Amino acid sequence: MSLPPPPPLVPTPDSALEQRGVDVIRGLAMDAPRAARSGHPGTAMALAPLAHVLFTRILRHDPSDPHWADRDRFVLSNGHASILLYSMLHLTGYGLTLDDLRDFRTWGSATPGHPELHHTAGVEVTTGPLGQGFANGVGMGIAERWLRDRFSPEVCDHHTYVVAGDGCLEEGISHEAASLAGHLRLGRLVYVYDDNHITIDGPTELSLNDNAAERFAAYGWAVDDIGDVANDLDALESALLRARADEDRPSLIILRSHIGYPAPSLTDSSKAHGDPFNDEETRRTKEILGLPVDEPFWVPEDVLAMYRSTIPRGQAMRAEWESRLDSWGGDRARFDAALSGRGMPGWEATLPTFSPADGPMATRKAIKVCLDATQDQLPGLMPGSADLTGNTGMALAGATAQSVEEPGGSLIHYGIREHAMGAVMTGMATHGGTIPVGGTFFVFSDYMRGAVRVAALSRAHVIYSWTHDSVGLGQDGPTHQPIEQLAAIRAMPGLRVIRPADANETAQAWRVAVDGDGPTALILTRQDLPVLEATAELAPEGVARGAYVLADPGDGPAQIVLLGTGSEVSLCLDAARLLTEAGTRVRVVSLPSWELFAEQGAAYRDVVLPPGIPVLSVEAATTFGWERYADDSLGIDHFGASAPGEVVMREFGFDPVNVAARATALLGRS
């Protein structure tokens, strides 16, 4: 089933009125950066006709309900042109006012320098870092196709439209994402490449002579090079309709535009890219456009009325979808849970519990047990990996791989494309309908850091399974052994980082990740770890609070605290036994998540780490940052070495005898 295209904005478009609307958009694109003394007018001016056609003739959207589940998605990947999107959101009635446009790029405004999800109604993803939006769109295409196949075209049947520029196509992430989209043949993706031949430094020919058409055709995309028609509304509409009709491949429309058009001195100039026009250039351009030169932010009533008629048109389309949803005979509870990115009520009851008798288990294996056990109660679960599916616990039992032949497949093979994987998952999460989980080795989180940062900014509900978390992975050596990565990702605001100590803590980390808002990073071991005696009882509350007391002396208050994370918690317990035999009273604390622990009140933190008692932190990673909790730190402030994992750990001092010696020395100094 494929729905018919939406009706035109007006039955017989008034070409003169439409052209005036385009010119008004260009006026706003000049006025807002002028008012802010900052911004990017040129691309917005060049693409004003495209934006007009998209928002009035193509997109299925309802400005009165920006979150309607079956709306078309629009992504402005070249987010520096944000004033173009803001102008359309004002004109078509998403709630932005002219005062919001006047406040462009000012403190507390609804119109920040680049579009931000959850900040401005009508913005689908946070864009600005070039190429991220390009890859987000691929994730949206995956989510739409998966929902359509899993549940029915009756409840999910829409397209994703992405506008991208030269910078997006130059960034490596777009190559990764385009290759994946072509491989999966995501036919509901329509991309417009704004080929304006201008970058900040000057003409693109300074650094770029790619043949984009041949490159994307090689990826398996349908390519339509429509040439220099950026001001031809009907030609733009025809190209978009052709692309939308192709159900078998993602589509790239190559549009030759002229940045800053029709500015008399700055058209096709790099100065039109990132600098507001001066007074004289603004006046001369407005004279060419027929706009009042002394009335900034001019929007005449007939133009506004034309654009606002988008609202009843969108409301009718949404009402038709709601009617179909109401009469749909599918499983509404599972569909709603998928859309919300949550589990079915009571899903936590399916979480596994482990005992020491089960034997040692790597936490990367424990996460697979958790996914397998809970998958039936998580309707939107879509794990995947960057060519490390079995290694990272993402090999979901019974799942088929997402493909052309299996559009409802829940397992995604991202290939060796870590950066695209991260951004694609963000697009899947912001689209809604899925819980994306992506795995790779922890050291390669560096390759996807840009996408992780955007996910944190966006509060996107994505989960990272980052495994092989320390020098304990062994003989692959320092290139694969993460040292500084833990400190680096802990420094990122909005990212929940959990490094579980055993299988039970892993299960509770999975619960926190699924139920929590925003992105979560699970930091998991390659090597087997013992299932600890008390975690089945203590981890459900302890992991959710970030840290908890795992062991305490039985004969009085503790004299010292051993504070561990992940694989080093069992090491702390072994060292505590040695210290106890020597007459020292020891508390062992597991601290799987700095972020969750920081959210607790000071009273709880003081209960776990009592003031006045010395603390030794033990973690097989850099000691950077541990001074916030520890008086001394056993860590690794250098790169690793190639040898069996247990040898590397021992040589770097991660054995019970050395931990006990470091604790004794700290206690002596204290």
Dihedral sign from CA coordinates of 191, 192, 198, 204: positive
- Between the CA of residue 7 and those of 3, 75, 545, what are the distances in Å? 12, 22, 52
Candidates 124, 171, 281, 418; catalytic one: 418
Helix (H) or strand (E) holding 589: strand 586-590
For residues 212 and 251, the answer to whether their CB atoms sit within 8 Å is no
d(C-alpha 239, C-alpha 74), whole Å: 16
For residues 83 and 33, the answer to whether their CB atoms sit within 8 Å is yes
d(C-alpha 140, C-alpha 160), whole Å: 7
Q: What's 118's DSSP letter?
A: T
For residues 21 and 261, the answer to whether their CB atoms sit within 8 Å is no
Both structure tokens of 409: 């497949």
Q: In what order do the strands lie in the sheet with 560-564?
A: 548-551, 586-590, 560-564, 615-618, 632-634
Virtual torsion, Cα 81, 87, 88, 89, nearest 10 deg:
110
Beta strand residue intervals within 41-153, DSSP E: 73-76
Both structure tokens of 370: 């958790």
d(C-alpha 640, C-alpha 618), whole Å: 16
DSSP codes of every residue in 630-651: -SEEE---S---SS-HHHHHHH
- Between the CA of residue 439 and those of 40, 176, 361, 391, what are the distances in Å? 37, 16, 18, 8
Cβ count near 152 (within 10 Å): 17
Q: CB under 8 Å to 524, separation ≥6 — which residues?
A: 362, 363, 364, 366, 367, 392, 393, 465, 466, 467, 469, 499, 500, 506
d(C-alpha 287, C-alpha 297), whole Å: 15
**Nearest CA-CA partner of 385 in 370, 369, 368, 373:** 368
> Residue holding tokens 């991208």?
164
d(C-alpha 146, C-alpha 380), whole Å: 9
Is residue 418 part of the annotated active site? The answer reads yes
For residues 195 and 166, the answer to whether their CB atoms sit within 8 Å is yes
HSE toward the beta carbon, residue 449, CA cutoff 13 A: 14
DSSP codes of every residue in 17-41: HHHHHHHHHHHHHHHHHHHHT---H
At position 484, the amino acid (one-letter code) is E
Q: CB under 8 Å to 254, separation ≥6 — which residues?
A: 193, 195, 212, 213, 223, 224, 225, 226
Beta strand residue intervals within 308-393, DSSP E: 381-385
**Residues marked as catalytic:** 418
